[in-house]
């Protein structure tokens, strides 16, 4: 029986291997051509912010397994981390806690999720059952949809980085809320969506407040489903996406547009006015920018808010301002927040993001000192205790230095006697590890 | 008197002081209710055999129906075990990584947690979430459609604001148990059959990566022990972090 199963597995793995090898060769060749042409991206996904060149891709686990079964040569011992150096958890924590956990340097290359914060994060996906390498992108322009506002969703089908003719068969959107005030069967009724062609894409603009006028005032997941066919399809394909909608009147609080700022204990404190209609536990996030669009820092505030007008205090850590090297005036932007209702699902109740910026009056007096907090000292003492017993996970130097903001990376690299330029995102993206041999 | 003094000394040595208490909390993955529940299909779970741990806690977090209910349950576990003078260490598998990091992102630095260690973590979401047979792969789990990149990477969860270090290890082996590996084409990069490296290694975008030392990870998320994944599939790496702690990897 085992032989039979093994034989079937071997047959499955090796079937059509000749064709696969040929296709793999074509893929490798096409990747090389793209690199020579210096194309900015390797996936035709229509998302401008993702117009980056992903790291070069080695063989996947499936390809390695197939190579092993076919007797293709494999590489020697794998270097698990090219630097050959590890950093202890204790040193990792000492470095990361130079800044407090809720206010740290803002890095555009790393923190696109904090800057372009309301973007859906979807990539192109292969179409299930398609053997031609056809991919689709089904996404939307927003992750949070507020009140009576619209959300644009679109479908794009491609193959070999080129658009493929597609046709939408049917599409619909349905509201969903798993816990808390339930939706009635009538409120959960899906609404049909009519997509229209827009160049290479099929596009739909939905105003949820018009499509679902009678839902309760609570956060709701909107689940979009689309069925489509395309040139060369052997059967229809289906895709889905979701967005979080706060119906009109469901916002638990609003930013009043009042601000003031001060330098407090070497950090920049910005007091933000809010008016709360539904008390509870809130998160508020924001970014700080300097003159000439220079990125400075991000911050997060968490706490309980009571009904009525009040201020919350956003703190941008002094050392993050100093390390940024940015010049004043400093601007508060991307101010957004939500109430978190753990007894409901979806639990997140978004506030309308503040659409503008606040220019701070404070220009100097920021401290260069590291974060000084009793919990930091306690955590270091605890890590020292466990470190002495070999209990903490170490980190390859690449991951440690790659995770630090530029100024701190330079300091730590000097301390460790290495070149910080070897650990930038661009340098790290070039690391290739030979595959190790799978155990059989 | 001498006997009493001896007994007192013995009691002092044998009974760990409250300040020295180290608790390891284990969080399972999609479709499970607790660490020992086999519904996540991971290999047989076990506790870490490390001398410095005083208490092992099997986190009862229901990951069958509602991800955010799981977050609420995990918060309750942290409230119970990780306050005062007790230090917690969190070991999470698969979607347990998302439950853990989202809880810490929303609620912040209010517990005594030294670090989080994930194996095959789903903190960045899995592309196969919306596939027609994802739910069946995990035993008919209703929560399968809540764990994609579009949900776990929503603006609500600022993964950069997890207040403690998140260490990650993963696998990149061929997944025979994933419909004879049919899931691999849907995951970008050198995946384990269920989660892609962008998720397991906490990368800030969903591009395809070969391993965990390539580019921008969320702030304070690190790849532990080795840049590449161990050559095992998603289900076989359930206790990889434990093995790494015990004997390296």
Q: Tell me the mean pLDDT in the region B207-223.
A: 93
- Reply yes or no on whether the pLDDT at A123 is more than 70: yes
How confident is the model at residue B17, as a pLDDT?
40
How confident is the model at residue A381, as a pLDDT?
96
> How confident is the prediction for chain A on average, in pLDDT?
84
- Reply yes or no on whether the pLDDT at A49 is more than 80: no
Q: Which is nearest to A76 in space by CA: A436, A377, A439?
A: A436
CB contact under 8 A, A58 and B210: yes
Q: Tell me the mean pLDDT in the region B192-221.
A: 93
State the smallest CA–CA distance between residue A118 and chain B in angstroms.
6
How confident is the model at residue A78, as a pLDDT?
46
Percent above pLDDT 70 for chain A: 81
Rounded CA separation B69/A420 (Å): 43
Q: Which of A35-49, B99-113, B117-131 has the highest mean pLDDT?
A: B99-113
Q: Tell me the mean pLDDT in the region A400-422.
A: 96
Look at A61-75, A365-379, B35-49, B169-183 and tell me which has the smallest mean pLDDT: A61-75
Nearest CA in chain B to A387: B52
How confident is the model at residue B213, as a pLDDT?
95
CB contact under 8 A, B216 and A110: yes
Query: Does residue A124 or residue A326 have the better pLDDT?
Result: A326
How confident is the model at residue B4, as a pLDDT?
43
Look at A56-70, A83-97, A244-258, B89-103 and tell me which has the smallest mean pLDDT: A56-70
Rounded CA separation A57/A44 (Å): 17
Instruction: Grade residue A436 by pLDDT with cuts at 50, 70 and 90.
Output: low
Q: Tell me the mean pLDDT in the region B98-117.
A: 97
Q: Which of A26-40, A293-307, A423-437 has the highest mean pLDDT?
A: A293-307
CB contact under 8 A, A433 and B227: yes
Instruction: Grade residue B143 by pLDDT with cuts at 50, 70 and 90.
Output: confident
Instruction: Grade residue B41 by pLDDT with cuts at 50, 70 and 90.
Output: confident
> What value of ipTM does the predicted structure carry?
0.90
> How confident is the prediction for chain B on average, in pLDDT?
88
CB contact under 8 A, A302 and B107: yes
**Model confidence pLDDT, tens digit, residues A193-250:** 999 999 999 999 999 999 999 999 999 999 999 999 999 999 999 999 999 999 999 9
Closest in B186, B204, B219 to A112, CB measured: B204
**Which positions 156-175 of B are in contact with A (Cβ < 8 Å)?**
156, 158-165, 167, 172-175
How confident is the model at residue A24, as a pLDDT?
35
Closest in A65, A104, A240 to B174, CB measured: A65
How confident is the model at residue A435, as a pLDDT?
66
Closest in B154, B185, B209 to A126, CB measured: B185
Q: Tell me the mean pLDDT in the region A294-317.
A: 98
Closest in B65, B186, B215 to A125, CB measured: B186
């Amino acid at each position: 029986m085992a032989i039979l199963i093994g034989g079937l597995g071997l047959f499955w793995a090796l079937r059509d291997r000749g064709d696969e090898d040929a296709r793999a060769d074509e893929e490798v060749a096409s990747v090389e051509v793209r690199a020579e042409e210096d194309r900015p991206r390797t996936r035709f996904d229509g998302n401008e912010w993702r117009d980056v060149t992903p790291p070069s891709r080695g063989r996947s686990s499936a390809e390695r397994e197939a190579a092993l079964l076919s007797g293709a040569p494999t590489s020697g011992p794998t270097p698990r981390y090219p630097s050959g150096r590890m950093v202890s958890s204790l040193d990792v924590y000492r470095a990361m806690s130079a800044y407090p956990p809720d206010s740290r340097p803002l890095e555009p290359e790393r923190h696109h999720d904090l800057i372009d914060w309301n973007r859906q994060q979807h990539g192109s996906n292969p179409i299930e059952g398609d053997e031609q390498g056809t991919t689709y992108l089904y996404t939307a322009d927003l992750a949070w949809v507020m009140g009576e506002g619209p959300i644009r969703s679109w479908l794009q089908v491609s193959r070999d980085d080129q658009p493929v003719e597609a046709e939408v068969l049917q599409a619909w959107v349905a509201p969903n809320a798993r816990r808390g005030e339930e939706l009635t069967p009538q409120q959960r009724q899906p609404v049909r969506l009519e997509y229209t062609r827009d160049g290479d894409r099929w596009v739909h603009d939905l105003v949820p407040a018009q499509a679902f006028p009678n839902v309760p005032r609570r956060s709701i997941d909107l689940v979009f489903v689309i069925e489509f066919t395309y040139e060369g399809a052997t059967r229809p394909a289906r895709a889905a996406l979701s967005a979080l909608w706060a119906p009109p009147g469901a916002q638990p609080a609003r930013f009043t547009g009042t601000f003031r700022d001060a330098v407090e204990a070497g950090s920049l404190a910005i007091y933000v006015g809010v008016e709360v209609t539904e008390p509870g536990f809130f998160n508020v996030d924001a970014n700080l920018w300097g003159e000439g669009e220079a990125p400075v820092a991000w911050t997060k505030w968490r706490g309980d808010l009571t009904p009525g007008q009040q201020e919350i205090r956003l703190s941008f850590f002094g050392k993050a301002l100093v390390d940024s090297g940015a010049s004043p005036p400093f601007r508060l932007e991307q101010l957004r927040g939500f109430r978190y209702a753990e007894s409901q699902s979806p639990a997140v109740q978004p506030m309308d993001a503040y659409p503008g910026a606040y220019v701070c009056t404070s220009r100097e007096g920021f401290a260069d000192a590291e974060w000084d907090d009793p919990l930091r000292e306690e955590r270091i003492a605890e890590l020292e205790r466990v470190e002495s017993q070999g209990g903490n996970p170490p980190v390859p130097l690449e991951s440690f230095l790659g995770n630090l903001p530029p100024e701190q990376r330079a300091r730590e690299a000097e301390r460790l006697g290495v070149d910080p330029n070897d650990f930038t995102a661009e340098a790290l993206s070039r690391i290739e590890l030979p595959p190790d041999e799978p155990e059989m | 008197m001498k006997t009493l003094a001896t007994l007192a000394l013995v009691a002092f040595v044998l009974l760990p002081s409250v300040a020295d208490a180290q608790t390891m909390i284990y969080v399972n993955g999609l479709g499970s209710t607790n660490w020992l529940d086999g519904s996540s299909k991971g290999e047989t779970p076990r506790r870490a055999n490390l001398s410095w741990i005083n208490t092992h806690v099997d986190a009862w977090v229901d990951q069958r129906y509602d991800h955010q209910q799981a977050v609420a349950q995990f918060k309750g576990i942290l409230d119970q075990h990780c306050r005062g003078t007790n230090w917690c260490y969190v070991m999470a598998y698969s979607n347990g990584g998302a439950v853990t990091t989202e809880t810490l992102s929303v609620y912040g630095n209010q517990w005594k947690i030294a670090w989080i260690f994930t194996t095959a973590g789903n903190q960045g979401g899995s592309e196969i979430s919306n596939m027609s047979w994802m739910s069946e792969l995990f035993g008919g789990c209703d929560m399968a459609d809540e764990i994609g990149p579009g949900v776990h990477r929503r603006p609500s969860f600022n993964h950069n604001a997890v207040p403690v270090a998140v260490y990650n290890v993963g696998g990149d082996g061929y997944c025979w148990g994933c419909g004879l590996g049919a899931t691999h084409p849907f995951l970008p990069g050198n995946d384990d059959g269920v989660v892609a490296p962008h998720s397991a290694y906490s990368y800030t975008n969903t591009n395809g990566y070969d391993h965990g030392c390539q580019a921008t990870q969320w702030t304070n998320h690190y790849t532990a022990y080795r840049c590449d994944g161990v050559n095992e599939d998603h289900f076989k790496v359930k206790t990889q972090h434990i093995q790494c702690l015990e004997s390296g990897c």
